[in-house]
Amino acid sequence: MSTHTTYTIRHGGVGAYALTDSWTMTRRELAHWARQPVQLLVGLVFPVMLLLMFGYLIGGGRGVSGSYLDYLVPGMLALTMAFGLEGTMLAVTQDLNKGVIDRFRSMPMANGAVLVGRSVADMLQSAVGLAVLMAVAFALGWRAHGGPAAFLGAVGLLLLFRFAMLWIGIHLAMLAGRPELLTAVQILVWPVGFLSNALATPSSMPGWLGTVVDWNPMSHTATAVRDLFGTPGADADHLWTAIAWPLALLAVFFPLAVRRFARLSK
């Protein structure tokens, strides 16, 4: 009987040891927070700076009915879910290049537990980032006008979008292979973020650009979140597409990332 088989039997089957290994890898990533607090703080402060910059320094609101802050905050929350992937992407490439994956592979560990642990840690950090940004927005005068269920639904949509973007980032990181190539990959996030309705309404843009913005998955998430938050003038027909887009992206990139990781680990 192999070590891997014995490990599986002792820990209650494949599902149990996969969860145990994934949680071990999650705690490994969380331990990095204590050793690298600056990176964590930068990730939390950057969205706050964007909120203040677009809300007060640059201004905006052309085509927005009601308060621009009410329109901007849900968009900034969605935008935050697309940004900040570079930390996870860098960690994946570093593990691959420093031989960490090879050391884990020599242990009786579930395949992909490293990626799952990294993704769980990222989602926890994203949840903290949402809480910080909403607290700042609340201090600036923003309010969510929907009920508790709608509020939780909005947060769930934001985290679902982040989860989909995260696995796209993990897959692209493994394709890049080396940390120095990540800069080119990270540039791809900016068009997704700014070619959306996060900061401005499509009606205020040229026709062709507004069409592109309307098709952007982030636009569907931002619009649905605005509706759930009770933002005045928000469209109410994007909830299902805000769910369908991230699930479709996950259906493509999650298996691609796992398959790529399996090939790299051989």
Per-residue pLDDT of the chain (266 residues; tens, 9 = 90+): 444 444 444 445 555 656 776 666 677 666 766 666 666 666 677 777 777 767 655 656 666 777 888 999 999 999 999 887 877 888 778 777 776 666 666 666 666 677 788 888 889 989 999 999 999 999 999 999 888 999 999 999 999 999 999 999 888 888 877 776 777 666 777 777 888 888 888 887 888 888 999 999 999 999 999 999 988 777 777 899 999 999 999 999 999 988 888 776 55
Q: Is the entire prediction scored with pTM above 0.85? A: no
Residue 142's nearest CA partner among 34, 68, 240 is 68
Residue 55: predicted pLDDT: 67
Provide the pLDDT for residue 106: 64
